[in-house]
Amino acid sequence: MQTVVRRLLSVLFAALPISLLLVVVPDGAAPARAATVVDGPDVSSHQHPGGAAIDWGKVRANGREFGFVKATEGSGYANPYFARDYAGLRTAGMIRGAYHFARPAGGATNARAQARYFVAHAGTLTGAGELPAVLDLEVTGGLGPSALVAWTHAYVDEVQRLTGRKPMIYTYPSFWRNAMGNTTAFTGYPLWIATYSSAPQLVGGWTRYTFWQYTDRAGISGISGGVDNSVFAGTPSALTAMARTAVRPGAPTRVVASAAGTTASLTWAAPSSGSTASGYRVSVDGRQVAQVAGGTLKYSAAGLTPGGHQLSVLAYNAAGTGPAASAAATVIVRPGAPTSLRLGVSGTTVTAAWAAPAANAGELTGYHVSVDGGPAATVPAATASYSAPNLRPGMHTVAVTAYNRIGDGPAASAVATVIVKPAAPANLMLSVVGTSITAAWSPPATDAGQLTGYRVRLDGGTPVTVPAATTTHTFSQLAPGPHTVTVLAYNSIGDGDTGSAVATVIITPTSPTGLHASVASGTVTASWSPPVQIGGELSGYLLQVDGTAPLHVAADVTTQSVTGLAPGRHRIAVAAYNSAGISKQVATFVLVVFAPDSPGAVSVVTRLGTATLTWSAPANVRGELSGYLVWVDGGNPVSLPATTTHFAATKLTAGPHVLEVAAFNTAGSSAPVLEQVTVVLPPTAPTAFTATGRAGGNLDLTWAAPAQPGGPLSGYRIGLDGKLVSQVAASAQRTTLRGVVAGRHTVTVTAWNAAGTGVTASRSVTVLPTPSLSALLSAARVKPGAAFSVSGATARSFAGQWVHLQVWRSSAWHEVTHAVVSSTGHYVLRAHALSTVTTTSYRVVMLPNATRYVGHSGTVRLRTG
């Protein structure tokens, strides 16, 4: 069970009855068992992890005699495994019981409801092999001791009523002492105590226990995990007897009843079937009056009232109660007065009706009826009425006596008045105050002087009876709407004619429901549903915009349009009204929006391929601004939030571009504002760049315009060895640098425009010195065919360069020999033979590459002959 206290067992059981011997070890271990130990588990859904089943056959084979199964908890939980486990116990041949885990709350009504819920699921537990129902009492549900004791009484009483057996109470010591105030009010019920110590502890005045739960961690084959285990305080046969395995006795035989005076006697013989009776219960007229031992076969009931009495006796034993056997006896005395005498008047006839005397001895012969003391009429015993016709109007006394063979009893008398039905009340008027209607009227013109009162009815409901002296009645807390009040006068004859009137109760209506407002083209349309409660009648609605004077709307209209509202947020409120007042408003908000004006102060700046567009908010947003739309060169718009007033268009190509911006909201967008801008990018490097060095310190540079000028060029900048040495116009595509020192140089050309300096084109070039020509042998004339040498010098840094001797012939220079400049800068052109006898010019040329001559010396004319 779900006990609160969980402790380990570590010592022996003590204080058990002599018939029990059980050695207890720590929780979860199997105790050493003696042959007389009667024990068994109690289970719930916790013993079905993952839906696992319990093998009750193994549990029985493990020596367990009985088992309890949790059936219910509170008034809403039923153990889904109860039916399976309860049937499994029976199949395994084990004694079985069921328990209910209490969830106390409230009072006796809750307790009885839980009891009924338990019995509905567990059954009456009165079959063979079934133990009494168990109340598992472990939690208070917030109830104090006195309330919890009362709750427990109500529960066990109801279970006993439903099952015919006293239920058992399961608890633990600290709970009973504290939560139940250690009450001794339940010692008449079997006790199941949970004590996880060396011995069971008794509480609440109990001197013995029936079951002792000593652990919640027993290991039992067939059950998954640890489980509660208890021992029975008795022998196996005692447990069998408690479980009703004996056969119930049959009905007593030879039952005879007799009466003498006011005493009735009953005799009987023992039942002829079933087990031996432990005793007998005797009932008189369905009420048990005695319980006698099994050897007693008679009983006398004294002081009985006159009349017929039914005497019954039933036998019982440990298996239950057998059927009853009955016999009748009649106590005869002079009859009492007839009961419930009542008189009715119809016209001039008075009819008396009555009931038999409370004690008529069952031997009633008849009745004597007299009117106003006159001769008595005789009425048979089976008849309980008498009519006296043709009576004069006025009061009449009717007396009725019952009689039997002993004689007449006392008379019962009543007075009746012969009257006529009253007329309808006069001058019926209704007045309404709040939710009350007061009816006022005057007495009927004729009421035969015997007006009993009035019956006042509202809307056909149950009538209210008003005394004859009262001519007003108020109905309060009425629902709104029309009500019909009827009033009739009545007397002992019956109801008179009815008067009626109608009045309407009117209260302030509740608020309209479902208010919704929509906007279309500047027109706001509000719609709503009528109030849940119109208060009796509805006069109409009041529609208010922004707290201005309300607009009246007819009661059958639930929509209204409002025009001419300025852009912006507006509060739309609606209230219902009638003659009693105005309801609370229901309100909603709506936004009236028109397309905004265009953005203002639009401007654009560009830098390095980025155009930044800026603007200010529209002068009039016309309700609410959703944001801005920006277009670049007519492409797809870019949407920006209303808080942004700039946009950067990046990676623009050089040239003209168009940027546009418009404001927008839910009503549409403004006209776009257009800005045109020309993007200028730094140019790329000049193309086809060449650099040629010439003797004498000159550098010839040529180039073509950049492939991407990025905009109108401003010019070119010429650099030499990292220094700006020249700047030329944008139209120039060549220039010459003069006076350049001979040697290796880096020359650059860079285009520039309004966006800045572009990419530089660079070349390495050598400026050759002018070679010198020192001599042509030693004479100015050379004979034809004679050889001669040419020598000269240049800068030492040009060692290894080739020098060539050229001769002018046939209008062109022709190479005739060559040599290499030495490490000192000198060179010698040797063994050249003059082949012609002419006047010929010679020069020395330095050759920087295989195709071009540069840097020649001055020419020398050599004569021959």
Q: Enumerate the active-site residues.
A: 42, 138
Torsion of Cα atoms, 54 then 59 then 65 then 68, to 10°: -20
CA 53 to CA 45: how far, in whole Å? 10
- Residue 201, classed as helix, strand or coil, is coil
- Residue 407, classed as helix, strand or coil, is coil
CA 345 to CA 398: how far, in whole Å? 12
CA 98 to CA 90: how far, in whole Å? 13
Sign of the Cα pseudo-torsion (196, 199, 204, 207, in order):
positive
- Residue 88, classed as helix, strand or coil, is helix
Q: Kindly give, in sequence order, each residue whose CB lies less than 8 Å from that of residue 779, ignoring residues fewer than 6 positions away.
A: none
CA 748 vs CA 29, 697, 735, 755: distances in Å: 101, 17, 12, 20
796's tokens: 């030492």
Please, which contacts does 559-564 make with residues 24 or more away whose CB atoms are closer than 8 Å? 559/525, 559/526, 559/527, 559/528, 560/525, 560/526, 561/523, 561/524, 561/525, 561/526, 562/523, 562/524, 562/525, 562/526, 563/522, 563/523, 563/524
DSSP secondary structure letters along 152-197: HHHHHHHHHHHHSSPPEEEE-HHHHHHTTTT--TTTTS-EEEE--S
Q: Which residues of 727-755 are buried (b: 16+ CB within 10 A; e: fewer)?
A: eeeeeebebebeebebeebebbbbbbbeb
Phi and psi at residue 538, to the nearest 5° = -120, 125
| Strand 385-388 relative to strand 263-269, pairing | unpaired
Torsion of Cα atoms, 713 then 715 then 719 then 725, to 10°: -160
Phi and psi at residue 114, to the nearest 5° = -65, -35
Using an 8 Å Cβ cutoff, are 711 and 678 in contact?
yes
Among candidates 379, 311, 390, which has minimal Cα distance to 347? Answer: 390
CA 89 to CA 186: how far, in whole Å? 29
Using an 8 Å Cβ cutoff, are 486 and 425 in contact?
no
Show the beta-strand stretches assigned E in 730-784: 734-737, 743-753, 756-767, 775-776, 781-782
125's tokens: 């537990």
